[in-house]
Amino acid sequence: MGESKMADVEARLAALEARIDELEDLNAIRRLQNAYGYYIDYNRPEEVAGLFSQDGAVVFLSGEYRGHEGIMRLYGTWFQNLFTGGRRGPVKGLLLDHFQLQDVITIAPDRQTAKGRFRGVLAGGWHDAIKDALPEGMPQQFWEAGIYENDFVREDGVWKIRRLNYMMQWQADYETGWSHTVAHLQPAVQCYPENPIGPDVILAESEWRPTWPDRQEVSMSFAHPVLGAAFAVEHFQKMQRTWP
């Protein structure tokens, strides 16, 4: 085999190896996000915290929970006490199903960081057998949906969540629907430790997230699949005017 053909084969092999590496990264991050959904469904806050990097954080309801301690405060102290009375694991008559959908994952060229956009849909509620445990202000049956724009990092060779950025889009009582519902969860106004379940930081006013029925733009982390990163509405409108 000549040198030029050998070089061509080596280049093709290198391109295939890079593509395989990218697919492995995509599958690892998709698996990571899906595991997150299962762990919160089954009330396993320690496993949730273990999905995050050392500098990991969660943004929820206009507050940021930082580090494993802050993440445990959110998923353990707050959510666990709210839904299961502090007990770990699933509880008879309590439904919490988080569906992780529509992933669009972008791997950085150096394969050390990535961004991912996902849609989350939640069905939750309490069976009549345990409705006496229903927290004050919570509907017995509800829906919720939101958008994740997450940052991921490869730490010690393993993909982890660096920043889980969940932006609730709506909440709805099951019986009356989203047309007649105001979100039952509202942003915190006080940080930890003054608020025992509060975030470490309240987001700046410019990043404040009003809840349903208000809506807000959720910027997309990925380039346009056809027109690329340079896509702009104004440019597209100009292009349209030149089409036959």
Q: Looking at residues 2-13, what average pLDDT do you find?
A: 79
Better-scored residue on pLDDT, 203 or 227: 203
Name the band, by pLDDT with cuts 50, 70 and 90, for residue 221: very high
The tens digit of pLDDT for each residue in 50-61 reads 999 999 999 999
pTM of the complete model beyond 0.85: yes
Is 164 in contact with 199 (CB distance < 8 Å)? Answer: no
Alpha-carbon gap, residue 88 to 91, rounded angstroms: 8
Name the band, by pLDDT with cuts 50, 70 and 90, for residue 136: confident
Give the type of residue at 154: R
The domain segmentation of the chain, as residue ranges, is 3-242
Alpha-carbon gap, residue 75 to 199, rounded angstroms: 12
Is the domain 3-242 a CATH 3.40.470.10 member? no
Percent of the chain with pLDDT over 70: 94
Q: Looking at residues 92-120, what average pLDDT do you find?
A: 96
- pLDDT of amino acid 16: 87
- Assign 27 to helix, strand or coil: helix
Q: Looking at residues 129-143, what average pLDDT do you find?
A: 91
Better-scored residue on pLDDT, 216 or 107: 107
Is the pLDDT assigned to residue 238 strictly greater than 70?
no
Q: Looking at residues 139-164, what average pLDDT do you find?
A: 97
Is the pLDDT assigned to residue 243 strictly greater than 60?
no
Residue 236 sits at φ, ψ, to 5 deg, of -65, -40
